[in-house]
A and B are shown apart, each in its own frame.
Chain A
Amino acid sequence: MFRARWYKVFNDLFGNKTRTLLIVLSMSVGLFALGIILSARTILSEGLAESFAAITPSSGTVRTIELFDEDFIQSIRSMKDVQEADARRNISARVQTASGEWKNITIFVVADYDDIRVNKVASQSGPWPPPEREVLIERAALSVIEAQVGDVVLVKFPNDVERKIRIAGTAYDPAQLPAQIDGTPYGYITFDTLNWFGESYGFNELHVLATHPEDKAWAQQVVNRVKDKAEKSGYTIPLSMTAEPGQLPMNDVLQGILLLMGMLGILSLFLSIFLVVNTVSALLTQQQRQIGVMKAVGGSTLQILGMYLVMVLAYGVLALLIAIPFGVVGARGLSNALAGFFNFDIYSMDLPPQTFLIQIAIGLVLPVLASLVPFLSSLRISAAEAMSSYSIGRGRFGKNWIDQLLSGANIWFMRNLSIRSILLSVRNTFRNKGRLTLTLITLTLGSATFISVFNVRDSLSHTVDDMIKWFNCDIMLTFDRTYLADKVEFSALTVPGVTQTDVWIQLPTRLIRSDDSESGMIYMFAPTVHPESLIVSPTIAEGRWLMPDDDNAVVVPSAFLQDEPELHLGGDIVLKLDGKEHTFKIVGTYVGMAILPLVYTNYEYITQITNRIGEADALMVKMERHDPAYVDAATRALEDHFEQIGVRVSMVSTINNERTEAEASFDAIVALLLVMAILLALVGGLGLMGTMSINVLERTREIGVLRAIGAPNRGVASVFILEGIVIGLMSWAMGAVLAIPISQGLNQALGQAVMGVPLSYSYSIQGLWTWLVVVILLSVLASFIPARNASRLTVREVLAYE
């Protein structure tokens, strides 16, 4: 037989559907936010790794100047510690976009598209393998070259052969940096097509898979052995790289995102805890009178406690029924969006049970714990006291310094102003300080996170500015080889609009460690350093920038020192240039990533030690105007001009494009931050709505009194809406302060993960004002529904309310 008290529980749950819905929604939004972050984090960290493993990523890459054939590939495959090897032809070509602009494109030529053994490329659309005299474009690259499948594009090879080639379809090559991020599109052709471009058969890029690819040190040894073998076979090796085992091309950014999600997960965990505690304690406070009645009719503490625990558990179960499935759907959507950014397909969306267990623990255990506090406090009140609350005024006001501060004695200057309803709202805010504290904690955390998200976005942008601003030029041209510096500089100055030029030289180099092992490929950039130089100091993390009279000084990226623990500021670094070892001194570190480390040294010194005096292979150009259209036109003019005088340009980049690409690499982080900010704002808003609804329920009799003394609908509603706004404004002010340490923490963690140094801190005033508007709107919306309901109550209804 179902005992009577369980009927009460049932009726409480389903008799007041609006209240139940509100409580369940408040709890489920917090749990949903937590679920989406935890689940998406798991999917991304595990699913992406699994998907990446599916392409059999190489342990390293060795590139040759001279072409090699299948026999050499076989000889590498037969090496003892090589598990697998494969080769491609890698050609840096140019492609003309629909707008007429020439862009760099990397063309891969694969011998057998159905037998790619390492760094597997798959068909995405169209025929497979690519038909003769047609090209497949990497799927993330179509937008970069502004083309569609079926379009015919003009491609120019380094041998100056131009061919119109049809895009037959798309390929999926997750081993490459996504084209929308590094700006370089990838194309795939056959050797027949290569022949059509006038190029001979042969490979220049070897992908090696070591026997224990998970061991980076071992993989590096194997790659070095392959490189040595190639060198002994007479090949020149301009580049060899060892990959981080199992790491995606943009692993640093992914790690930054995962870290950010972890931190936001903790924040949303707190938010969800406060939301649950707040909602449940408000509910029990409201039930205090009924608890008194049950005590009066002989209910034991245990019996009554049992009833409320079951009720609270039921709310938790209902909230979880909403939060878990929606959380899974949301997490999968978010993961897919982020995977799309990394140009990855996620094969596995499986979620480990601990994600759900955390949600269930918070959804069920916390409400029970939260209900104990108000329940125990209600036990301290006698049955008579609990039932004698016919009068209004639940929640104590006037007892402490905050109330005194807001009392009539201290705001005498307002006595003559007609703002009683505002005073009523402001003071009502402080009536139930426990609930106010919980609501404020929830909303303040939401506010602080929202503002912090804007701060991080600003800081990212600020950091990109810092990274870009040291290039005091508009265009950078890289030539296919070194030319006389004077010749290229003077020629460039004849092009209209060019105001200043500077040359530099760039060389591939390798770090030689104390155990004689070599690092992967490092680019050495040697700019001319003088007071009017077009390259000014990058953002120095430690130490200093190059000086004109420096000889063997180098400046390295800050993240590089983390990867190479032997190196330190002020210490020596041995670099191999043109096969010879040279010792340099690290005079500074700059804010930068370690994906492709660039080290800087003086042009004069490098040209001396490498016998390239007076030569340069790169040119920086400053234009009289800096707008993108003007600079793009000037770039085309410069390319044409150099072509006419026989100087071959192999790569062109403009500062505008560099900035766009650098910002694009942070797009995923910014988008994720915004999604999280909106989610947290929603959680905070619903928390406030829950509080305001409970406030309305608690003050129902008071609403009757307001009506009895002549308050119109508007007057009643405004009391609650203003109260919501007061709470919103308080949370905004506190959130604005709390955002300072939170965003510093996020900047520190994100910067460290992505670039090895904290992001350049920036406090977003835009974020501050945006959140002010959002929080006011949220407050109005959150209190509008309860306030409207309050204003609809008739006086008789509310005065009869218990």
Chain B
Amino acid sequence: MLEFKENPNKKGREDNRGVKPASHLVGLRDVVKTYHSSAGIFTALKGVDLQVESGAFVSIIGKSGSGKSTLINIITGIDRPTSGEVVIDGTAVHDLNEEEIAVWRGRSVGVIFQFFQLLPTLTAVENILLAMDYGGYYPRTERPDQAMHLLELVGMADHAHHLPSALSGGQQQCVAIARALANNPVLLTADEPTGNLDSKSTEMVFRLFENLANSGKAILMVTHDNELAERAQRTIRIVDGRIQDEFVNR
């Protein structure tokens, strides 16, 4: 079971702008996302409703172009809905502007990418510290210890001062997960987090997700691997921009 130190000041999420009473950690209501391009109009999400509770480990599956990445981008504020409401931990994300979303995201959501996306000129621990500097969840003096603690959690403490180029793909993804946890977010999102990893690293990353979910973090993971998806508590299948099925795996 993973343990996270709480910030005694809790200053990270004190901004009340757009805050709504939270019945669910993640609440999407009738979310539509339409793209306009020279090729025409394409609707990626067609009125999606979704609720996710704290501590849930949810996998999202679907074919290429089905809208699963769009859905996760809408939840993290990386993309904006054309219509509908997105409320995360009481914050109406759809009401925030780009700058506010960036700040909110840094404090509330941990984003994990398929290609790790560690900054190549910062060491493992510095990558985490940079996110802590932006989020400001932990007091300045506590950040180095917290960052090392997170690296210990993901088994990368020995590589704290290595540059990403000196780490394997699996190790980089572990550091990326630690970075996603830098500001003790309530929600972690991962878009194909194991898509670029071998089976051993995939297993390592997946176990980390399970432990994080057990410790109370909500995890939303996009994957095309049905086998992995079934290991999550709940699986959502998206077809043509709509949630077609939902399974509770265990």
Contacts and interface: CB of A to CB of B under 8 A. Distances in A.
A binds B: yes
A409 B115 CA distance: 26
Given A418-B143, A420-B126, A796-B73, A710 B121 contact: no
A724 to B, nearest CB: 16
Contact of A710 (B98, B134, B141, B166): B134
B240 interface: no
Contacts of A704: 117
B204 interface: no
A408 B161 contact: yes
Interface stretch (B51-59, B102-110, B208-216, B228-236): B102-110
A390 B133 contact: no
B133 A418 contact: yes
A126 B79 CA distance: 77
B164 A708 contact: no
B135 interface: yes
B78 interface: yes
Contacts, number: 117
A715 B134 contact: yes
A799 B121 CA distance: 19
A305 interface: no
A719 to B, nearest CB: 10
Contact of B134 (A392, A415, A428, A712): A712
B65 interface: no
B190 interface: no
Contacts of A710: 102-103, 105-107, 131, 134-135, 183
B106 to A, nearest CB: 1
A408 B126 contact: yes
A424 B119 contact: yes
Interface string A429-451: 01100000000000000000000
B200 interface: no
Contact of B131 (A407, A709, A713): A709
| Interface range for A | 35 or more
A709 B78 contact: no
B117 A705 contact: yes
B161 A421 contact: no
B157 interface: no
B156 to A, nearest CB: 14
Interface residues of B, number: 44
A795 interface: yes
Interface in A698-754: 701-702, 704-713, 715
B250 interface: no
A397 B123 contact: no
Interface string B139-163: 0110110000000000000001101
A801 to B, nearest CB: 12
B119 A408 contact: no
What's the dominant secondary structure at chain B's contact region? helix
A794 interface: yes
Given A391-B115, A397-B120, A408-B126, A708 B78 contact: yes
Contacts of B119: 392-393, 424, 702, 705-706
Contact of B106 (A397, A409, A709): A709
Interface string B171-192: 0000000010011000000000
Contacts of B141: 416
Contacts of B102: 707, 710-713, 795
Contacts of B76: 708
Among B116, B117, B125, the one with the most A-chain Cβ atoms within 10 Å of its Cβ is: B117
Contacts of A390: 115
B111 A708 contact: yes
A496 interface: no
Interface in A392-434: 392-393, 395-398, 407-409, 415-416, 418, 420-421, 423-424, 427-428, 430-431
A285 to B, nearest CB: 16
Contacts of B105: 707-710
For A396, A415, A713, which residue has the most chain B Cβ atoms within 10 angstroms? Answer: A415
A712 B99 CA distance: 6
Contacts of B71: none
B176 to A, nearest CB: 10
Interface string A790-802: 0000111001000
Contacts of A408: 123, 125-126, 160-161
A704 B119 CA distance: 11
A708 B188 CA distance: 12
Given A421-B133, A796-B73, A392 B161 contact: no
Nearest to B134: A710
B103 A391 contact: no
A420 B130 contact: yes
B73 A398 contact: no
B60 interface: no
Contacts of B116: 391
Given A424-B130, A707-B102, A710-B135, A795 B78 contact: yes
Interchain residue pairs A-B with the least CB separation, the first 3: A710-B106, A427-B121, A393-B120
30 contacts: A391-B115, A395-B120, A397-B120, A398-B121, A408-B161, A415-B125, A416-B144, A420-B129, A423-B121, A427-B121, A428-B121, A430-B121, A431-B120, A702-B119, A705-B113, A709-B106, A709-B131, A709-B179, A710-B105, A710-B107, A710-B131, A710-B134, A711-B102, A711-B134, A713-B99, A795-B77, A795-B79, A796-B79, A799-B78, A799-B113
Given A423-B121, A431-B121, 11 more contacts: A392-B119, A398-B163, A408-B161, A415-B144, A430-B121, A705-B117, A708-B117, A709-B106, A710-B102, A710-B105, A795-B79
